[in-house]
Structure 1
């Protein structure tokens, strides 16, 4: 098959990776910026470097995305499927970015794959979708909320007799570490989804066999994600850092630490693609609930959850509509 369409798909995938970076940059650094542990620019630089490093740390999630969600046909129809999946994900990313809603780029991509596959009569591996996407999508925020809540309770008890100003100052320094861990986890999880899609495009285009990720794909995706992260996502940063709950440094540290723990566990132990966005947002809610339940702005939280629920079907609809139109024109 001609190389040019494959290169075009790779370029679009890297563009998606870039939008993932600026869309999800807030996930790693919003809490640190809102507590003034880091300046916005320093936080973005740190997050970009950590995202770059995290993207180099594993490929198991990429294999899950590449071969575990859909069975794409070979040739032009398979490349069209991948293109429409990416288009649907990018459109949803831009919509939610515009409205400042921290939705999941990962689930937008998977929704795009499923929608394009259904439109093209390709095989959707529903068992894989349920086991590797739906169940982790539900469980990871619950675990993030619970872990954030419990960790914050532990910190409150451990420092119950300490001077509040001294504790706050100490956790500002600690947040530098927890934010870096969160950004590393974001790179580890989110970069691999784009790697998986690029490998899928290479396979259906006939330029790669198997779903092992070539080194050049890893490096290209890592750089695109880091560049997107550095460009920032200020709208979503405000939502995560201030509108859900006003965070102090101990709560910011607890939220980031809890979320990072979930990201590493799912990537290395279960090898499933989870949403960084869902995880950190739920962790923020969990640590906020230790203050009092009314401290969490549940109206904002409801809007976020609504965006979560809509992400997969919305991206799927966009991808399916585009695939049906282009398929009729091209084949």
Structure 2
């Protein structure tokens, strides 16, 4: 049997934002900058740099303006998360040209995260996305709890597709569809992403898996089979969500790159340089790096 796989995959590195946001101890801004530089040197050309959120709620992102000021370049799609009007207005004060917005399929998750229902969030974001597109921004729409919610349980596939459709109709360039708490299994990954590819053929579709139950690689493999060629990953498997109890880190960039390259799928990411980038931030983390590739590399296996 011959599997249909993409010849090339784009890795969107989310470590500097999604990966670090859950770290309790503040990581020095210089270390974050060096981490970002190392990731770019490894060949990662799309990246979430930081987020313009309230430092009261996510203290780790309190240096967002300085990160953006020093880390933009002409060779990378440098993405900044901005969850609301206040965040968007801060983006306008920078030279950033790519913005991520987000909404949870789950109303409960959304209310705990940004104190709005899903539809209330969309009502606000529809206007914001239109405004961003008029100004020439690349807009990335992050769909949280696309499979399961820590509060409501399983999400209906049609509800996820419906939310994605609202973003597409609003003008979003990309849908980043997330298994926020890492409960999805490969059949669910295959079902949702095959539907999204069918319904939104002109939109960039990115799969975002957390590795809570060690299913991230299997879910990526399932998504590959329906033609998904964009994946969010986090160097070192860092990550989690302050508003999703029990959520583990993202799929580790190094593990995903290793799997894809071994399968003959091009990523343009240099694993040796990627490990060096992780080494920069590792001493400042609250937990050890548990990704298989990194662990075996350190042990020289």
TM-score interval w.r.t. the shorter chain? under 0.3
Give the TM-score normalised by the residue count of structure 2.
Answer: 0.24
Q: Bigger radius of gyration, 1 or 2? A: 1
Structure in which a larger fraction of residues adopt strand:
2
Q: Which has the higher contact order (CA 8 A, sep 6+)?
A: 1
Give the TM-score normalised by the residue count of structure 1.
Answer: 0.22
